[in-house]
């Protein structure tokens, strides 16, 4: 996933737009491919960058990797354009190929729109950004055609990208890190769907890109859970605070929400200065603070708890997968563990 520093120092070099309608049987509207770049002035370039930063660092953004054997042609085009020997012609051809592929896979249910392909540089690394924008019925998109050459005019950005109310927006950034086919940093964003939604519409963007989540939901979830529990057990001395964090973590992970935001969890449930320490601890453990789709399969046993309630109202709560910790006798409940600390509430 692209870092904040990478997004901040990203330079947008060239952009090209293609109009990609839905296929609606014979006689339907055809894809309109530009042959030339859309010239962009400095002000719009800055606004476009702002829009991209806001999307690619938002809670809707996720780290991605290329699929092993994608049906999509996008990975091939991305690898080709970002390899050494970049030319503008190669960029235009690749963008046309990606628009054609979008036209082929875009079924009637997917909103038609424009595909914008942007050539970027971050430091000395080369990359590409793709944006899919819904074509608003009322938006007037001016295409300039002259002697067989075509390009969308700069005003296309005003109509589709830079207005504050652009609702439907999908974007992806590919940044080449090395010469290998998989040496890429990628961030994708789809503000209409969660990446773990299983319906066809939600999977569409990833499928088109030939990408999948960088880290399986179950891996991200257990990494965050285990690291946070380790921190709480080793670095939080206050038993009351331990309980608060522990309970909040369980509650958030067991809630019906499909995605989990570590950033929001820290803000809402971990007070300073412990929050800062946990933040650093997660960094040391290489646990990202970016949102991830929840997948609790691997920690199910730790999340489920059995509560033993005595006749006098004493409660003993233990993880379900650690049944050996509690022995229930006829006259007593025995906890087979040593006292770690005592809390008063």
CB of 241 to other proteins, least distance (A): 13
Contact status: 57 vs other proteins (CB under 8 A): yes
Contact status: 256 vs other proteins (CB under 8 A): no
Is residue 293 within 8 Å of 258, Cβ to Cβ? yes
- The C-alpha atoms of residue 218 and residue 65 are separated, in whole angstroms, by 16
Contact status: 163 vs other proteins (CB under 8 A): no
Q: Which stretch binds other proteins (CB under 8 A): 8-16, 85-93, 216-224, 331-339?
A: 8-16
Cis ω before 273 (30° cut-off from 0): yes
- The half-sphere exposure of 329 on its side-chain side, counting CA atoms within 13 A, is 6
Contact status: 5 vs other proteins (CB under 8 A): yes
Q: Site map for other proteins, 175-214, x if CB under 8 A?
A: ----------------------------------------
Contact status: 149 vs other proteins (CB under 8 A): no
Q: How many CB atoms lie within 10 A of CB 307?
A: 8
Contact status: 59 vs other proteins (CB under 8 A): yes
Q: What are phi and psi of 156, to 5 degrees?
A: -60, -35
Nearer to other proteins, 5 or 200 (CB): 5
Q: Which stretch binds other proteins (CB under 8 A): 22-30, 75-83, 202-210, 264-272?
A: 264-272
Helix (H, G, I), strand (E, B) or coil at 145: strand
Q: What are phi and psi of 252, to 5 degrees?
A: -65, -40
Q: Which stretch binds other proteins (CB under 8 A): 40-48, 74-82, 223-231, 239-247?
A: 40-48
Q: Which of 133, 115, 125 is nearest to 186 (CA)?
A: 125
Which DSSP string do the residues of 35-53 spell out, in sequence order? Answer: SSPPP--HHHHHHHHHHHH
Q: What are phi and psi of 147, to 5 degrees?
A: 50, 45
Nearer to other proteins, 43 or 68 (CB): 43
Size of the site for other proteins (CB under 8 A): 36
Chain residues that interact with other proteins, rule: CB under 8 A: 3-10, 42-43, 45-47, 49-50, 53-61, 123, 263-264, 266-268, 271-273, 275-276, 279
């Amino acid at each position: 996933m692209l870092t904040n520093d990478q997004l901040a120092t990203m330079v947008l070099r060239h952009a090209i737009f293609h109009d990609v309608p839905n296929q609606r049987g014979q006689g339907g509207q055809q894809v309109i491919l530009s042959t030339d770049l859309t010239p962009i002035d400095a002000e719009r370039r800055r606004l476009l960058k702002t829009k991209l930063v806001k999307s690619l660092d938002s809670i809707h953004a996720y780290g991605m990797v290329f699929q092993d054997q994608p049906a999509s042609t996008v990975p091939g085009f991305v690898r080709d354009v970002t390899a050494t020997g970049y030319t503008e012609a190669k960029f235009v051809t690749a963008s046309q190929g990606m628009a054609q592929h979008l036209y082929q896979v875009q079924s009637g249910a997917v909103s038609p729109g424009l595909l914008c392909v942007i050539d970027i540089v971050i430091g000395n690394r080369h990359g590409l950004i793709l944006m899919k924008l819904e074509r608003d019925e009322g938006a007037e998109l001016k295409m300039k055609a002259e002697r067989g050459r075509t390009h969308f005019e700069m005003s296309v950005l005003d109509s589709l990208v830079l207005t504050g109310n652009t609702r439907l927006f999908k974007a992806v950034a590919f940044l080449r890190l090395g010469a290998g086919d998989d040496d890429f940093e990628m961030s994708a964003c789809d503000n209409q769907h969660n990446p773990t939604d299983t319906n066809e519409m939600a999977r569409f963007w990833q499928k088109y890109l030939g990408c999948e989540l960088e880290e399986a939901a179950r891996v991200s979830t257990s990494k965050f859970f285990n690291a946070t529990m380790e921190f709480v057990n080793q670095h939080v001395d206050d038993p009351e605070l331990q309980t608060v964090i522990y309970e909040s973590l369980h509650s958030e992970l067991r809630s019906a929400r499909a995605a989990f935001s570590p950033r929001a969890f820290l803000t809402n449930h971990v007070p300073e200065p412990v929050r800062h320490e946990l933040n650093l601890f997660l960094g040391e453990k290489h646990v990202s603070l970016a949102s991830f789709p929840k997948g609790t399969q691997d920690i199910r046993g730790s999340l489920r708890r059995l509560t033993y309630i005595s006749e006098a109202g004493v409660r003993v709560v233990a993880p379900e997968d650690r049944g050996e910790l509690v022995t229930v006798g006829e006259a007593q409940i025995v906890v087979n563990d040593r006292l770690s600390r005592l809390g008063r509430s």
